[in-house]
Amino acid sequence: MSIIWILISFTYLSYLHGACIIFILSIASVNFLFVKIFARTKYFSFVFWIFNIFFLLCNRVYEGYSFYMIGQRWAYLDNFRGTFRWHICFNFVVLRMISFGYDYHWAHRDSHFDHKKHIQRCDICKSGKTCYQSLQERGVQNDKFSFMTYLSYLVYAPLYLAGPIVSFNAFASQLDVPQNNLSARDIAWYGLRWVFSLLLMELMTHLFYYNAFAISGMWKELHPMDVFIIGYGVLIFMWLKFFLIWRYFRFWSLICGIEVPENMPRCINNCYNLETFWKNWHASYNKWLVRYLYIPLGGTRRKLLNVWVVFTFVAIWHDLEWKLLSWAWLTCLFFIPEMILKSAVNAFQVESTHGEFVVRELSAVAGAITITCLMVANLVGFVIGPSGISWLISQFLNREGLPVLAGMLLTFYVGTKLMFHIHDAKQSSS
């Protein structure tokens, strides 16, 4: 099965990258040897991260390298680099290389995953099927950690360009036993819903000009209310764009029998805190970060410190740009009061109806502020850049902007209360 997928994927890669397959195979092979040699050593995690971040940065700095760097006789291969810059999507390959390394490293240690307890709590596993967490945590047999399976995992065609991200354990365990959680009818309906979403994107592209205003810089000449509408519209457009990309590749993977996490399980308009937003935006990447970075760093015991490391890595992983680092550090700053507030709420024992009402109202206010901060962080990271922060603040803290800011917070407050009611309705129905 692995050989078949390698042949399919390399046909795909030869079109995308041409002669640059040499670079991809070289880095992947070096990583495989590194894991096999050092996986059982004491300092594996530290050296392994340095090793992979080094390649991640070098790929960007040298723009995917050139064959003439190897020697003049190889320079002619630079004319056959394919249709797509290989080092852009190689960021996803780096995540898979880290996943393979850690899963192999943990395969030689005692597992803390209690499968029996998990089945008692998991509705999917209770029904006789196998959920993604179970596939990921149970591990696979040693013979699955072969070079062929590793290579088919790295260049698996349906997920190669953009994900969603699947762990090595979950991928390897489905090669011989394809997923059975979704029937052919479910997969067909999933694809049809994707077509409807594509039609919605076409309508937005032709009828709404949020991105045109943002890219051209014309938003600087507009009223604060218009800036708010355009900023919110850009985020909705961005959400739908990634929704289409990730669901297309997940649909392709499901057809091939490999189930991967859903990247957009919840709409952006149904997230009122940062933790919920990140769990439901690039959800598969969030699962990856929690498993391979957040938990090894200490998890919730060092949460205030860990978020800085995690989001800095996320920014560097996306690209080497100051605006992305600004976005990451702004997000961390906004995370801190949310974490403190959550800890305070959990510690506060509500014993009366009045107390529940106060906590709920304060949570709604906090949700409105969080949504506003989330908008600012994403606009800085993906639209206006760090230099636009002072301009954005000045626009909303003047005579014209303050009423707009108040109306925006009130709107988000009402929206957060609505999200609470939706959550309560789901809880009561289940």
Which tokens hold the place of 43?
């300092």
- Active site members: 318
Instruction: Classify the phi-psi angles of 47: left when phi > 0, otherwise alpha if psi is within -120 to 50, otherwise beta.
Output: alpha
- DSSP 3-state assignment of 368? helix
CA trace torsion 105, 111, 117, 118 (10° rounding): 0
Is 293:300 a contact under the CB 8 Å cutoff?
A: no
Residues 55 and 95: beta-carbon distance below 8 Å:
no
- DSSP H helical ranges for 272-302: 274-280, 283-289
Distance (Å, whole) CA 262 – CA 229:
28
**Opening angle at CA 124, ends 119 and 130, nearest 5:** 80
As a whole number of angstroms, the distance between CA 322 and CA 386 comes to 8
Q: Taking the CA of residue 280 as centre, how many other CA atoms within 13 Å lie in the half-sphere pointing to its CB?
A: 14
Q: Which residue has the tokens 């209360």?
A: 417
Contacts 24+ apart (CB under 8 A), 292-296: 292/98, 292/99, 292/102, 296/45, 296/102
- Kindly report the number of other CB atoms within 10 A of residue 268's CB atom: 20
C-alpha atoms less than 13 angstroms from C-alpha of 286 in its C-beta half-sphere? 15
Nearest to 278 by CA among 339, 229, 320, 224: 339
